[in-house]
Structure formats: C-alpha cells, structure tokens
Structure 1
Amino acid sequence: MFNSILTLIRGRAYDAEQAFIDRNAVPLLAQQIRDAAAAIQSARRAVAIAVAQNEQEKSRYSAIIDRIADLETRAVAALQKGSDELAREGAEAIAQLEAERDASEKAQAQFTQTIGKLKATVRASEARLQELQRGERLARATAQTQKLSVACDDNSGLATLDDAEETLARLQAYQNRCEVAASVMKEMDAASRQATIVEKLANAGFGAPLGPSADDVLARLRDRMNSAA
C-alpha cells in the first residue's frame, strides 16, 4: 500500500511537471534558443581562434623552413672549407629544426581537420538554430491565436462583445438623433427669422397683409349693421 502511494505521488508529480512545462513551453523554448545561440557564438569564436592559431603555425613553419635552408647553406660552406666540427654543429641544428618542421606539419594538419569539423558543426548548428527561431515565431503566433480563440469561445467574452456592439449601436443612434435635431433646429430658426421679417414688412404696409386687420373687421361689422337696418 505504501509503495502504491509513493508511486501515485511520483506519478502526480511527473504529471504536474509536464503540465508546467506545457504551460510554459513558449518561454522555455525561447530561453533554450538563446542558450543555443550563445553556444553557437562560442563555437564561432573557437573556430576563429583555431584559424588564428593555424595561421601562426604556418608562419612558424615558414620561418623554420627558411632557417633550415640557411643552415644547410652554411653547413655546406663549412664542409667545403674543412670545418667539420662547425658543419656537424650546423647539422645538429638542422636536425632539431627538421623535427620542429615535422611537428609543425602535424599541427597544421590537425588544425585543418579541427577547423573543418568546427566549421561544419557551426554551419549545421546555425541551420538548426534558424529553424528553431522560425518555429518559435510560429509557436508564439499560434499561442496568441489560441488565446484569442479561447477568449472568443468563452461565453463571458461573447457577452462582452454583444454588450459593446449594443452600446456602439445606441451611441450611433443617439448621435444621429442629435444631428437630426440640430438640423431641424437650424431650419426652424431660419424659417422663424424669415417669417418675422415678412411680418414686419407687412405690418409696415409693404406688400399684402398677412391676415385681417381690426379696421377690416370693423368695416365688416358696420356693413352687417347697415344691412340689418
């Protein structure tokens, strides 16, 4: 029983760990890519150092070849003049330089091989890094899309959209009413001003009267009275 409980605890811990990794997969991937990019940058520096060292070894090799040639010339001259002892010393120096020359050739061969492998590794790593970076961008876009989909699928989110649309419609209707009312008011004000001017002109005797006057009414009443008499 106790072993079963321990197994269950480990199982739940594993599930929780995996769930945590899944929830944080995008930032985890981003950090892993940054770490890989830093490692590739270090590899580039290693290639540059190896190339520089190989160039130094080539320079050293050229110097050794020149020294060997010079000593051989001098040793031959010594032999020609019977200075066997000096010629022997020259030969010993030449032998040492030839050993250094052989070691330098091996070092250059190793450098060349190592540089070739490092460059191939860097190129392959850079290609993989670029693919990972493209994948990260796609993963981030997918994550954002999924968040948007979840928000749209959520009833509360849809309700919020509905409320916002209804508010916008009411606001637009209110603004339209305000515009219509303002337009009508302007028309009414203009008509009122025009009617006032016409009334003033008519009252002043300019043009036909707008309606019956008191004098007209009195005249009509007198006519009615006279007719009745």
Structure 2
Amino acid sequence: MFKQFLTLLRGRAYDAEQAFSDRNAVPLLSQQIRDAAGSVQAARRAVAVAIAQNEQEKGQHAAIQIRIADLEIRTLAALEQGSEALAREAAEALAYLEAERDISQKAQAQFTATIDKLKAIVRNAEARLQALQRGERLARATEETQKLDLAVAGPGLATLDEAEETLARLRIRQSQNETTASVLRNMEGSIRPAGIIEKLANAGCGAPLRTSADDVLVRLRGRMNSAA
C-alpha cells in the first residue's frame, strides 16, 4: 500500500511537471534557445581560438625552417674549415630544431583536423539553432493567433447567440400579442349589441344603418321627376 502511495505521488508530480511545462512551453523554449545560442557562440570562439593557435604554430614552423636552413649552411662551412667540434655542436642544434619542426608539423595536422571537426559541429549547430528560432517565431505567432481566436469566440461574443435567441423569442411573443389583440377585438365586436346590429343590417335584416350610394341616386332622381 505504501509503495502504491509513493508511486501515485510520483505520478502526480510528473503530471504537475508536464502541465507546468505545457503552460510555459513558449517562454521555456525561448530560454532554451538563448542557452543554445550561447553554446553556439562559445563553439564559434573555440574555432576562432583553434585557428589562431594554428596560425601561430605555422609562424613558429616557418621560423624553425629558416633557422634550420641557416644553421645547415653554417654547419657545412664549419665542416669545410675542418672544425669538427663546432660542426658537431651545430649538428646537435640542427637535430633539436628538426625535432621541433616535426612536432610543429604534427601540431598543425592536429589543429587542422580539430578545426575541420569544430567547423562541422558549428555549422550543424547553427542550422539547428536557426530552425529552432524559426520554430519559436511560428510558435509565438500561433499562440497569439489562438489567443485572438479565444477572444473572438470567447464568452464576450458568445452573448451574440443569446441575444439572437432573445430577439427571436421577443418577435414570437409580439406576434402572439398582435394575434391575441385582433382576436379580442373581433370577439368584442361580436358580443356588443351595436356590433350585432351592424352585422344584421349588413346582412339585410332590417333597415340599413347607413345610406348607400344607390339610395342617394334614387332620392335625387325622384327630385328631378317631381320638378319636371
């Protein structure tokens, strides 16, 4: 049971860590890219230092070569003069310089190999860094776009749907009110005595309530005939 409890704690801690990383993914990525850019810059400096050291080694090698050439000429002159002891001393110096020359050549070869390797590493790192920087810009743009999407489709604009529903209900209720009022008017007209009398008169039951145009013409024609 205790072991399961510890496992559960580790699981929750892992979930919390992942959730924290997800919430802060963009700033975390930015800092990681800055750290990586610093490492790439340090690698560039290492390449520059190696190149400078190699150039220095080349200069030392050239100087040794000049000293060897000069010492060989002087050693030959000592041999021609029969100065064996001086010639031997010069030969020892030549042997030392030649050893220094060989060491310098090996150092140059090592520098060249190291520089080529470092340059390849830096080129690869620079390409990866540029890809990360492009990815970061895209991630930031995507995050801002998503924020805008949430703002547009968020709770504030969600009230548009509610307002449209309210307007639809209002129109239905107003239409119902108008229909009800019309029905009530008809009902009142049919219930009131005056309304019933008007309906009967219009149906020809009893004397008409209003003088019609035909009645007016008949009356006027009668006057004309009487005058004649």
TM score, norm. by length of structure 2: 0.69
Query: How do residues 54-69 of structure 1 correspond to structure 2 at under 5 angstroms?
Result: 54-69=54-69
Shift of residue 2 of structure 1?
Answer: 1.2
Shift of residue 159 of structure 1?
Answer: 3.2
Alpha carbons of structure 1 residues 23 and 55: separation in structure 2 relative to 1, 3 Å = same
Q: Which residue of the partner structure matches residue 71 of structure 2?
A: 71
Q: Which residue of the partner structure matches residue 7 of structure 2?
A: 7
Provide the aligned C-alpha RMSD in A.
Answer: 1.7
Alpha carbons of structure 1 residues 161 and 72: separation in structure 2 relative to 1, 3 Å = farther
**Amino acid of the residue matched to residue 99 of structure 1?**
A
Deviations 1:160-193, CA, capped at 9 Å, x for gaps: 8999xxxxxxxxxxxxxxxxxxxxxxxxxxxxxx
Structure 1: stretches of 5+ with no match in the other structure: 164-229
**Amino acid of the residue matched to residue 36 of structure 2?**
A
**Amino acid of the residue matched to residue 62 of structure 2?**
S
Q: Which residue of the partner structure matches residue 52 of structure 2?
A: 52
Q: Which stretch of the first structure deviates more once superposed, 106-115 or 145-154?
A: 145-154
Larger Rg: 2
Shift of residue 94 of structure 1?
Answer: 0.2
Shift of residue 148 of structure 1?
Answer: 1.8
- CA distance in 2: counterparts of 1:117 and 1:157, whole angstroms: 58
Q: Which residue of the partner structure matches residue 117 of structure 1?
A: 117
**Amino acid of the residue matched to residue 105 of structure 1?**
Q
- CA distance in 2: counterparts of 1:158 and 1:70, whole angstroms: 93
SS at match of 1:140: helix
Shift of residue 157 of structure 1?
Answer: 4.2
Query: How do residues 96-111 of structure 1 correspond to structure 2 at under 5 angstroms?
Result: 96-111=96-111
SS at match of 1:146: helix
**Amino acid of the residue matched to residue 127 of structure 2?**
A
Q: Which residue of the partner structure matches residue 41 of structure 1?
A: 41
Identity %: 68
Query: How do residues 73-152 of structure 1 correspond to structure 2 at under 5 angstroms?
Result: 73-152=73-152
Shift of residue 41 of structure 1?
Answer: 0.7
- CA distance in 2: counterparts of 1:73 and 1:44, whole angstroms: 44
Q: Which residue of the partner structure matches residue 159 of structure 1?
A: 159
- CA distance in 2: counterparts of 1:17 and 1:137, whole angstroms: 24
Shift of residue 112 of structure 1?
Answer: 0.4
Shift of residue 46 of structure 1?
Answer: 0.8
TM score, norm. by length of structure 1: 0.68
Q: Is 1:22 paired with 2:22?
A: yes
- CA distance in 2: counterparts of 1:111 and 1:159, whole angstroms: 71
SS at match of 2:82: coil
- CA distance in 2: counterparts of 1:9 and 1:75, whole angstroms: 83
- CA distance in 2: counterparts of 1:53 and 1:2, whole angstroms: 61
